[in-house]
Amino acid sequence: MSTKLRATIEDLYRVDGKAEIVDGEIVPMSPTGAAPNYATSEIFKSLDSYSRLNKTGFAINDNAAFRVYLPNRESFSPDVAFHTGKWTGMKFFDGAPVFAAEVRSEGDYGPAAEIQMAKKRADYFAAGTLIVWDVNLLSDEVIKGYSADNPTGPHVYRRGETANAEPAVPGWSMLVDDLFIENHPMFS
């Protein structure tokens, strides 16, 4: 008989660094490298501009926590998100974001990683997220956009294309090429 206590949201508030609560345990998330961080920043900047222009929702960058109420998961900490729920001040966001982007880091490859990412996407959809991007900077299929309506058949976006997160973020889109540093004005 196990006497191990389940981690709580209060425990998550005391964690130093990025983490989530999955299956009753605190799951730390490692820092990211330069390329994934750059891509994350570009998605956030684009969403933030959209949010300010349209006066709707909040663009949320890395390390924010979203409290959710699933049997196996109590929080998400996406790389980038768009949230249309209430502002919670100093507390974690309450409820799932409508859009989440998970940008793969160096350790997010291989069969075990694919299984974990598929589970996390299923959790996002169960919590109410409408669109989840799986951003893979090492693939020709740079963004796989999964939807709650079709969670296993992603819309694929490649370099030279414009990606969107419809219907989660209506009217917003960004160039896939903007995720890559060589398209930064410093390199032009």
Residue of 34, 106, 95, 33 lying closest to 64 (CA atoms):
95
**Stretch 34-58: mean pLDDT, rounded?**
96
Question: According to the model, what pLDDT value does residue 183 have?
Answer: 74
Q: Which residue has better confidence, 17 or 88?
A: 88
CATH of domain 32-187: 3.90.1570.10
Quick one: which H or E segment has residue 14?
Answer: none
**Stretch 157-185: mean pLDDT, rounded?**
95
Number of other CB atoms surrounding residue 117 within 10 Å: 18
Peptide bond between residue 31 and the one before it cis (omega within 30 degrees of 0):
no
Q: Report the share of the chain in percent with pLDDT over 70.
A: 97
Question: According to the model, what pLDDT value does residue 2 have?
Answer: 58
Residue 3 pLDDT > 70, yes or no?
Answer: no
Residue of 57, 62, 47 lying closest to 95 (CA atoms):
57
Q: Is 17 left (phi over 0), alpha (psi -120 to 50) or beta?
A: left
Question: According to the model, what pLDDT value does residue 21 have?
Answer: 84
Q: Where are the domains of the chain?
A: 32-187
- For all residues of the chain together, what is the average pLDDT? 93
Residue 47 pLDDT > 70, yes or no?
Answer: yes
CB proximity list for 54: less than 8 A, separation 6 or greater: 171
- Least confident residue range of 12-21, 133-142, 151-160, 176-185: 12-21
CB proximity list for 136: less than 8 A, separation 6 or greater: 104, 142, 143, 144
Question: According to the model, what pLDDT value does residue 188 have?
Answer: 63
Question: According to the model, what pLDDT value does residue 167 have?
Answer: 97
β-pair partners for 58: 83
Quick: pLDDT tens for 89-108: 999 999 999 999 999 999 89
